[in-house]
Amino acid sequence: MTDIQVPQSNSKLAGMISSYYPSLTKSEQKVASIVLQQMEKVIYYSVTDLADAAEVGDATVLRFCRKIGLKGYQEFKLAIAKDLTVTSQEDENGNGKPTSLPMSIAQYTKNAIDETINFLDEAVLEKIIQLLDQAKSVHFFGVGTSGITALDAKNRFLRIGRRVDAIIDPHIQAMTAATLGHGDIVVGMSVSGSTKDTIDALELAKENGATVVAITFYARSPITKTADFVLISGGKESPLEGGSLAAKISQLFIIDILCTGLALRDKNFSLDMKQKTAQAVVGKIY
């Protein structure tokens, strides 16, 4: 790839990449060419996806980001998002009947659930449910919005009598991971698949013998390289949409499937626990 096809736009990032292009290595130029030609697709790529598209390694993509003056891959995607926002706003001002806001959001959320269903491998799902049922301990790891989902998971599992923990502090994640071993399960959640704190903790847990399950949007991303089992959720989001409701609902949908699958393995016990936990808080509601 020696020729650059720069998009005809006012993209600040495209201009910056073009100016740096001659100083990049041949491998980095491959990355630059892919970005310039497919910017609207790259915004939804994981670092591994972009590396595969350019036929280079992950490290080359990260070097490319630093070469053009950015700290890392997420800042690079944020720069793309800012550029594309202007184009998106211009498109919205064009011709055509606008869709109502509630209908638009509802459709986007429904699509995220449909994506999740299409992504799920039922054989893998059943294996994970079996492992959760037999595990010595289960920990959910997540930070930011995924941390909130981890707390929701703890709440759901507790109601059917399953003692699990949700850890959203990176330091506590690391210390917990160091104490785990065979028979323990860690479920790591990251929509981007590139959350460093979560991935570092999962790697440590795996080194100590724990089984690692990842819930992410990106089938090829750093978190999936660490995981023993992967569940793909729908609801892609750009850096400017971090914490989107659709992505969170997709995560919660998977948690609900896992929880319901566990409950069905011992219906009487699960029902008894639901009654006990409901009774425990009945006095706290008017």
Name the pLDDT band for 85 (thresholds 50, 70, 90): low
- Rounded alpha-carbon distances, angstroms, from residue 86 to 59, 164, 171: 30, 45, 39
Task: Decide if 42 contacts 35 (C-beta within 8 A).
Answer: yes
Q: Domains in the chain and their CATH numbers? A: 12-92 (1.10.10.10), 104-284 (3.40.50.10490)
Query: How far apart are alpha carbons 162 and 259 in whole angstroms?
Result: 9
Query: How far apart are alpha carbons 273 and 61 in whole angstroms?
Result: 49
Q: Is the pLDDT of residue 236 over 90?
A: no
pLDDT average, residue stretch 184-210? 95
Pairwise pLDDT comparison (91 vs 187), residue with the higher score:
187
> For the whole model, what pTM was predicted?
0.75
Among the residue ranges 44-53, 116-125, 233-242, 276-285, the one predicted with the least confidence is: 233-242
Residue of 184, 183, 218 whose CA lies nearest to 199 = 218
